[in-house]
Structure 1
């Protein structure tokens, strides 16, 4: 038996690489005679660029940029395709993980640092930039990124606004006259880990604003700002972004980049799997094991485990999904893709303790899977 191990990261606990290693260790500690391949995955969320850079053994460049609150931090980007393609992680500059919980403030948070990474990539002469957008601390519609690329945001009196929602709520016009001219000759690919629209009850502000520190009042203000941005963007660029698929990604940054630099928004996991040659590894597999922190109805909205399970189903390869949290009654649609869904915890414990024990629990659960498969084969 050959087992393909392809987990996503377990949020706030293990990287995808660490999760895959724990599962493999558990399998090999069982009596099951098997071979396995670790193929950690990412869907555009935090850690995606790091995995791509690792898989391609890419050249990495480190530089100073601003975090979401404007402080100087060290960040990096990678180069693949003989240096012609840059790979950027938005979370590495403008991410939630760069801030303390007490610092979260999407009304004042900007994606400017991610724009600095893009500018640095253009300095290297690339013809394509891949941006993994998950895990941002911002709901600025990408205005911070655009500001770093030379766009200016003006109010009704043509006064320049800071690229943060608290000021941008007065936005009247976007001046592209000093935008970096190199943008025109560069292809931008945005890897999206959610399929939410920009506006409304399922939009960037309502769904993700609270996770980034927005209270009820701030959510309403953020949605108002994004609605204003959408109207101005359509008037100036001719591109409607309010109901565009994936437009809510990274606090609407995906929408802003689509409108003003013609970025292509793609399903993050599908692009990642195609780029990294996942299907070739899948051909060799008799069983696929995947997982992430939670496997539930949201998994079907383009999350990494769904992406790999969907491809396995086409090839009639059974899939086992491992997670810290699994619904008591999983949706029937989810069970179409997973042969088994297994929660890795053994007993009720506080979330903080469960997060700390993720590696141990993954290893133990994988060993149990190996024991069961070995028993079935004897």
Structure 2
């Protein structure tokens, strides 16, 4: 029997790899000789770097960059096993957890550190980039990142604008002549699971800025700044950057990657599955196991378990999904490639206990063992 185990992390509890090993040990209690292929998984968000590094035998690189408040922060990105592809989660440089609640102000926070991470990867010889968007404390349309990379954004008097979303409305001209030359040799693949435009009612400011500390007055100012910036880009560079699907992702970083760095925005799970070569790993599999901390209506909107299920469905492979919690909305997953799903919690318990790493691993191990006991009894598989 061959089983492919590809679960997302149980966020706040255990990593994808830890969960996969627990499931594998449960299966081996029933099928000691089973071929179990554990594939760390992520959907382009938190945990993507770890998953891709593990899957490709890559390495992590520690760097100090400019944080969202303009002060130094210690950050991490990955270089895949091919030694030419860097994996960067933008939140590692400008994520919301890096800003204490009382200092959250997207008029001031910057993405400058993301550009510094890219520059470091360029110095390591990387020319291909996998970028995970999301979780930022910023709303600066990526101008901070671009400034770090040599782009220049000037006000009406010809002075470089300062960092932060509050500077967008001051920009009157854009100079790309001093941009890092190596960028012309680079390919950016960007994991982006939202389709929000840069500005407007569904744009970066109105949809995402409140959770980053913006009050209604700030949201309006940020949105006007994004619209003004888009107009300058249109006038200077002849492109309607504001209407690019996904331009509003990560406070406008989607727009910066899509236009200024010629990046390709695509669903995160599709990008991850392609990089790790999941189709090849599914060859001859009898079962696929996926899962995440919570299966709900959001899972059916493109998260990791759905991506695995759809790919497995293509080859007619049964898919079992495990989760710490399952809502009634998860029933739609049965029509999207997931054969059966199972909650791993054994009985009533506090959320704190349910998310305890030791408890989670034990629950995954036990659930896998019991499910495969049924499989052995019914199918008599060896």
Task: Give the TM-score normalised by structure 2.
Answer: 0.87
1:238 is matched with which residue?
A: 238
1:170 and 1:105 mapped to 2: Cα distance?
Answer: 18
> What secondary structure, in the 3-state scheme, does the structure 2 residue paired with 1:21 have?
helix
Instruction: Please tell me whether the aligned partners of residues 33 and 374 of structure 1 are also in contact (alpha carbons under 8 angstroms).
Output: no
1:354 and 1:213 mapped to 2: Cα distance?
Answer: 30
> What secondary structure, in the 3-state scheme, does the structure 2 residue paired with 1:167 have?
helix
1:84 and 1:262 mapped to 2: Cα distance?
Answer: 18
CA positional deviation for 1:240: 2.7
1:365 is matched with which residue?
A: 367
After superposition, the CA RMSD in angstroms is: 2.8
What pairs with 1:20-35 in structure 2 (closer than 5 Å)? 20-29=20-29, 34-35=34-35
Note the alpha carbon deviations across 1:95-152, whole angstroms, 9 max, x for none: 2344445554333221111110111122234332222223333222212211111223
Instruction: Please tell me whether the aligned partners of residues 234 and 241 of structure 1 are also in contact (alpha carbons under 8 angstroms).
Output: yes
Instruction: Please tell me whether the aligned partners of residues 194 and 302 of structure 1 are also in contact (alpha carbons under 8 angstroms).
Output: no
2:378 is matched with which residue?
A: 376
Report the CA distance shift for 1:332/1:64 in structure 2 as closer, same or farther (over 3 A): closer
1:204 is matched with which residue?
A: 204
CA positional deviation for 1:350: 4.9
CA positional deviation for 1:176: 2.4
Moved more, 131-140 or 93-102: 93-102
2:60 and 2:181 mapped to 1: Cα distance?
Answer: 25
1:14 is matched with which residue?
A: 14
Number of residues paired by the alignment?
378
2:37 is matched with which residue?
A: 37
1:320 aligns with 2:346: no
Task: Give the TM-score normalised by structure 1.
Answer: 0.88
Instruction: Please tell me whether the aligned partners of residues 144 and 164 of structure 1 are also in contact (alpha carbons under 8 angstroms).
Output: yes
CA positional deviation for 1:252: 2.0
Note the alpha carbon deviations across 1:199-231, whole angstroms, 9 max, x for none: 444443344334434444444433333333333
Note the alpha carbon deviations across 1:63-109, whole angstroms, 9 max, x for none: 22122222222223333475333332322222234444555433322
Note the alpha carbon deviations across 1:261-285, whole angstroms, 9 max, x for none: 2122222221221121111111131
Instruction: Please tell me whether the aligned partners of residues 234 and 259 of structure 1 are also in contact (alpha carbons under 8 angstroms).
Output: no
Unaligned runs of 5+ in 2: none
1:111 is matched with which residue?
A: 111
2:277 and 2:20 mapped to 1: Cα distance?
Answer: 17
CA positional deviation for 1:2: 2.0
What pairs with 1:1-378 in structure 2 (closer than 5 Å)? 1-29=1-29, 34-80=34-80, 82-101=82-101, 103-330=103-330, 332=332, 335-347=335-347, 349-356=349-356, 357-377=359-379
> What secondary structure, in the 3-state scheme, does the structure 2 residue paired with 1:134 have?
coil
Report the CA distance shift for 1:16/1:219 in structure 2 as closer, same or farther (over 3 A): farther
> What secondary structure, in the 3-state scheme, does the structure 1 residue paired with 2:74 have?
strand
